[in-house]
Amino acid sequence: MPQQTLVGTRIRERRIMSEMRQAELARQVGISGSYLNLIEHNRRRIGGKLLVDIAQALDVEPSLLSEGAEAALLSTLREASAEANKAEPEMKRADEFAGRFPGWASLIAEQHQRLRSLEHTAATLTDRLTHDPHLATSVHEMLTTVTAIRSTAGILVDTKEIEPEWRNRFHRNLNEDSQRLAEGAEQLVSYLDDAGDAGAGMTLPLEEVEAMLNAHGFRFDALGQADAAELRAFVDCQEFLTTSDARDMALTVLRQLRADARMLPIEQIRPHLEDRTVDPAAIGTACGVPLSVVLRRLAAVSDELLPMPLGLVMCDGAGTLMLRKPVEGFAIPRFSGACPKWPLFQALSRPMQPLRQTVTVTGRDARRFDCYAITEPVGAIQVNVAPLYHSYMLIVPRDESGVSEAEVGSTCRVCSMEVCDGRREPSLLAVGV
Partner 1 sequence: MGKTVLVIEDEPNIIEAISFILSRDGWSVATHSNGHDAVGVVLAAMPDLVILDVMLPGKTGYDILRELRGVDSTARLPVLMLTAKGQVKDREMAERAGASRFMTKPFSNAEVLDAVRELVTG
Phi, psi of 372 (to 5 degrees): -115, 125
First to last CA, the chain: 70
Q: How far is the CB of 140 from partner 1 (least distance, A)?
A: 4
Task: List binders of partner 1 among 345-374 (CB under 8 A).
Answer: none
Count of CB atoms within 10 A of residue 58's CB?
Answer: 22
Residue from the set 20, 52, 135, 155 that interacts with partner 1 by CB under 8 A: 155
The answer to whether 374 and 344 are in contact (CB under 8 A) is: no
Residue 22 is a binding residue for partner 1 (CB under 8 A): no
CB of 150 to partner 1, least distance (A): 5
Q: Which of residues 177-206 bind partner 1 (CB under 8 A)?
A: 177
Nearer of residues 23 and 143 to partner 1, judged by Cβ: 143
Query: CA neighbours within 13 Å on the CB side: how many for 134?
Result: 13
Tell me how far CA of residue 110 lies from CA of 95, 103, 104, 115, 123, in angstroms.
Answer: 17, 10, 10, 9, 20
Residue 36, exposed/middle/buried by CB under 10 A (0-12, 13-18, 19+)? Answer: buried
CB nearer partner 1, residue 128 or residue 423: 128
Shortest Å distance, C-beta 426 to partner 1:
18
**What is the pattern of x (binds partner 1, CB under 8 A) and - over residues 104-143?**
-----------------------------------xx--x
DSSP 143-174: HHHHHHHHHHHHHHHH-SS--HHHHHHHHHHH
Closer to partner 1 by Cβ: residue 78 or 172: 172
- Cα separation, 76 vs 156, in Å, equals 66
* Closest separation in Å from C-beta 137 to partner 1: 9
In the list 20, 38, 81, 170, the residue contacting partner 1 (rule: CB under 8 A) is 170
Q: How far is CA 337 from the centre of its chain?
A: 16
User: Among 79, 96, 176, 376, which residue interacts with partner 1 (rule: CB under 8 A)?
Assistant: 176
Give the CA distances from residue 37 to residues 31, 209, 358, in Å, rounded to whole numbers and listed in that order.
10, 53, 78
Cβ proximity to partner 1, 167 vs 270, nearer residue: 167
> Is 165 or 405 the residue whose CB approaches partner 1 more closely?
165
Of 172 and 270, CB closest to partner 1: 172
Alpha-helical segments (H) within 59-101: 62-66, 71-82, 94-100
The DSSP 8-state label assigned to residue 72 in this structure reads: H
Of 69 and 174, nearer to partner 1 (C-beta) is 174
**Contact between 154 and partner 1 (CB under 8 A)?**
yes
For partner 1, the closer of residues 144 and 214 by Cβ is: 144
Q: Which parts of 223-290 fold into alpha helices (H)?
A: 228-236, 244-263, 266-269, 280-287
Shortest gap between Cβ of 172 and partner 1 (angstroms)?
Answer: 9
How many residues lie near partner 1 (CB under 8 A)?
A: 22
Distance CA 201, CA 222 (A): 29
User: Of 177 and 207, which CB lies nearer to partner 1 in the complex structure?
Assistant: 177
Applying CB under 8 A, among 56, 117, 151, 179 the residue interacting with partner 1 is 151
Closest approach, Cβ 168 to partner 1, in A, equals 13
Shortest approach of partner 1 to residue 412 CB, angstroms? 23
Nearer to partner 1, 124 or 173 (CB): 173
Q: How many residues does the chain have?
A: 433
Based on the shown chain and the rule CB under 8 A, indicate whether residue 173 belongs to the binding site for partner 1.
yes
The yes or no reply on residue 292 touching partner 1 (CB under 8 A) is no
Rounded to the nearest 5 degrees, what angle is found at the Cα of 239, between the Cα atoms of 138 and 202?
25
Residue 91 as a binder of partner 1 (CB under 8 A): the answer is no
Q: Are 399 and 388 in contact (CB under 8 A)?
A: no
Q: How far is CA 31 from the centre of its chain?
A: 56
Which residue of 42, 152, 410, 411 would you call a contact of partner 1, by CB under 8 A? Answer: 152
| Residues lying near partner 1 in the complex (CB under 8 A) | 139-140, 143-152, 154-155, 158-159, 166, 169-170, 173, 176-177
